[in-house]
Amino acid sequence: MTLENLEAEVLALPKDSQAALLSRLLERLGQSSEIDREVGSIGGEEVQRRDLIINIRMNQPQSDLIDRAAQIQGKSPSQFMVESAYQKAQDILLDRCFFGLDEVKFKEFVALLDAQPMGNEKLHALLTTKSPWD
């Protein structure tokens, strides 16, 4: 790979990725003091520093789908994947949310669950009416 090819690939990266790459290179070279502050904003935008890199293996159709969805939302594939994974993690944890009840409230709760469902004429009509397309 030539230096020109490498430069073109780096310039094709999103601004935040360019800043992170430059910051890592400077850190490796031991020059991350004064220059690092300047890298904090590239193109006038404040860059959020991230210190964890996760490599993910996927097949091409998965990657294409993620790229398409990220593009529709105006995000990089990395931003899209992080936000999607973060939201999914929140959903899973919230589904396992604990709520505590004292003995009296718990018995009331169980009684409500065990009780016969109340009649709902509108629901009954909806479920027993023939569909227009049938």
- Quote the pTM value: 0.42
3-state class percentages of the chain: helix first, strand second, coil last, to nearest 5? 60, 5, 35
pLDDT at 131: 87
Task: Identify the band that residue 32 occupies on the pLDDT scale cut at 50, 70 and 90.
Answer: very low
> How far apart, in whole angstroms, are the C-alpha atoms of residue 100 and residue 5?
60
Contact 66, 81 (CB under 8 A): yes
Q: Give mean pLDDT, residues 19-25.
A: 70
CB atoms within 10 A of CB 20: 19
Q: What percent of the chain has pLDDT over 70?
A: 73
Q: Give mean pLDDT, residues 79-104.
A: 88
pLDDT at 36: 47
